[in-house]
Amino acid sequence: MTRLALVTGGTTGIGAATCNALKEAGYTVAANYASNDEAAKKFEQDTGIKTYKWDVTDPEQCVKGVEKVCGDFGGTIEILVNNAGITRDAMMHKMTVENWNAVLSTDLSACFYMSRAVVSAMREKGFGRIVNISSVNGQMGQIGQTNYSAAKAGLIGFTKALARESASKGITVNAVAPGYTDTAMVRAVPEPVLKSLIAQIPIGRLGRPEEIAHAVLFLVSDKSGFITGETLSINGGHHME
């Protein structure tokens, strides 16, 4: 078996593109998802990539999910892409505790639950690749997204810390920070808002899921073993410093 990769939220959008890119490059791939059985079924039929339903905000389900994937393929997870994410946008004065907690648990805590579930096997093997999908809005901040921006910025700190503590074990941990990318998440943004967001992108268009997947593929390669703790921005030309 080739290296075993698990992508959370792997059945749609950036996650699906990442699964496809990994499969095309010869990796063995498993895709997790939360609730959209129809999308998962179609994805599995179209790609032949096996899908696994569990909620990444539940630490026990993460452990069981990883065990199931490893049992099915007869190996351990060597590549983890923490991609599952949601938005619950609201201005601070209208942000509910539910909106805050939902985003923090899906976009940040899940990364801890999933990384913890795979890292011991990676340490034993002396090889691992973890890529966390952050966001331009974690780097820049965005109106109505204190929850999302906090979670995505948190991922960058998480990435740097786990990279340091895993560096001597052959495990690299990096983040990818996409700009606005053409997926269901962005198609939910009201048209006039989306137009003004696109107008602020120097390249003048949305990113394509495949363009984000391409960066993930680069980072998980055996050849990328000297890159760790890094955040790769893929956002059509925004400059962060």
Min dist CB 146 to ligand NDP, Å, is: 15
**What binding mask, one character per residue, do residues 34-73 give for ligand NDP by CB under 6 A, x or -?**
xxx--x---------------xxx----------------
Asked about 148 being catalytic, the answer comes back as yes
Among 92, 184, 193, 203, binds ligand NDP (CB under 6 A): 184
Q: Which is nearer to ligand NDP, 127 or 178 (CB)?
A: 178
Residue 103 host element (H or E): helix 97-104
Among 139, 149, 181, 228, binds ligand NDP (CB under 6 A): 181
Among 9, 65, 154, 236, binds ligand NDP (CB under 6 A): 9
Decide: 217 and 25 in contact? Cβ < 8 Å.
yes
Decide: 237 and 201 in contact? Cβ < 8 Å.
yes
**What binding mask, one character per residue, do residues 91-110 give for ligand NDP by CB under 6 A, x or -?**
---------------x----
Q: Where are the beta strands (DSSP E) in the chain?
A: 4-7, 28-33, 50-53, 79-82, 128-133, 171-178, 231-234
139 near ligand NDP (CB under 6 A): no
Task: Tell how far CA 67 is from the center of its chain.
Answer: 20
Q: Using CA atoms, how far apart are residues 28 and 25, in angstroms rounded to an integer?
A: 9
32 near ligand NDP (CB under 6 A): yes
Among 3, 4, 5, 12, binds ligand NDP (CB under 6 A): 12
Among 84, 111, 156, 163, binds ligand NDP (CB under 6 A): 84
Decide: 133 and 176 in contact? Cβ < 8 Å.
yes
Phi, psi of 188 (to 5 degrees): -80, -10
Angle at CA of residue 119, ends 222 and 62, nearest 5°? 120
Decide: 162 and 131 in contact? Cβ < 8 Å.
no
Question: What's the sign of the alpha-carbon dihedral 120, 126, 132, 136?
Answer: positive
Q: Which stretch binds ligand NDP (CB under 6 A): 21-29, 30-38, 69-77, 191-199?
A: 30-38
81 near ligand NDP (CB under 6 A): no
Min dist CB 241 to ligand NDP, Å, is: 19
178 near ligand NDP (CB under 6 A): yes
The DSSP code for 35 is: S
CB atoms near residue 240 (< 10 Å) = 10
Q: Which is nearer to ligand NDP, 54 or 127 (CB)?
A: 54
Contacting residues toward ligand NDP, per CB under 6 A: 8-9, 11-15, 32-36, 39, 55-57, 83-86, 106, 133, 135, 178, 180-181, 183-186
Catalytic residues: 148
